[in-house]
Structure 1
């Protein structure tokens, strides 16, 4: 029996990278999966992959920076599957540069997607879980950059630091309702978002500016992050809440 057998799981930003890997894994572990994204073709491709493997999934096209879109997502999940048991609030964007070069438009794009949307997803998810009688699990996708400093990442780091604090505060507030809230905080992971800065040397060794000095000597794969999110959403983590689990190959220990 899978770790999410019989559960309904929502994955935001589920069309690529960590979100896609998580949607596929959650379905393989027995969940009925709803995934969101802005690219319908990519979302339907993930649904097809899940269904071909015998799972159940739906794609909901949504711009989560619009709060009314978030409410519509939860309504569609409940209409299709009748409930919501767990959610991986994974959707996010990157961007940065020297502080002196950054403008308000970039600030708004990153904060609105990474932090504001995550908050209102949490709000809507908890409301649905409470309507069902309480209980559930929510995981946010943060970043090791909430814990360590790298030049050129200030706005992104601020958004992910907010995610860590949001998850901890929500865990305290919703613990009495039986709703667990945690965050995973990855280091550099091989995704479409990071691919543009990956280089390969003459020996075929890959590198990325943010992967320097990782004790395990490599970037993470999306599936490795999906496995951690799966654990935190499953009943195996039934006494884990309010935690910011760093999944960084030892980078923050340096």
Structure 2
């Protein structure tokens, strides 16, 4: 491509104005970039069964997806009489990671959507997950997404507060050098959407078909500016939301 400045047409002006509305994109990981939720939740359900809680798949999804396990000890204690420990969580992570290595796949279209965001925002993209950092990095490696993010991967577990608090999104925006008010957040859960909104970002809610899906109306009620159901819709949505913002 030539470095010679080109005349600005009406369409170019629209694109230029839209491009200045946002400065970067912060992606959640589980359920947004990688199809991990059923795998992880299935391992958790097995271990809760071993503790004596015959929790259904539906209830396990409802109660635990989108939340840090270490923060959810109270319902486990109430139903099993067992206060989960660091050792128990470590065993869960070992079993979870073994299953993820065998079964994990990327969300369809995630690679292309991340590549489009990377190109549009000049590399100002990051992952802001509620999961532990080792898991997030492993999953990005397994699915071939790691090179697009480099070291711009942050965990809410390393912040003072996890989602739905905004801490990890504030930290991620700082990492890529942007004002969180000029960030787009891509989230698939109510707690994550709440975190993004609390950070001052504009949240795009991802609600694909499937058993772990958060209903579009729940994401909107939590503050999502728009909701989409397929990753191949995301690049065009960057444009749409930027124009709507003005």
Which category describes the TM-score, using the shorter chain as reference length? 0.3 to 0.5
Structure with the bigger percentage of strand: 1
TM-score normalised by L of structure 2: 0.45
TM-score normalised by L of structure 1: 0.44
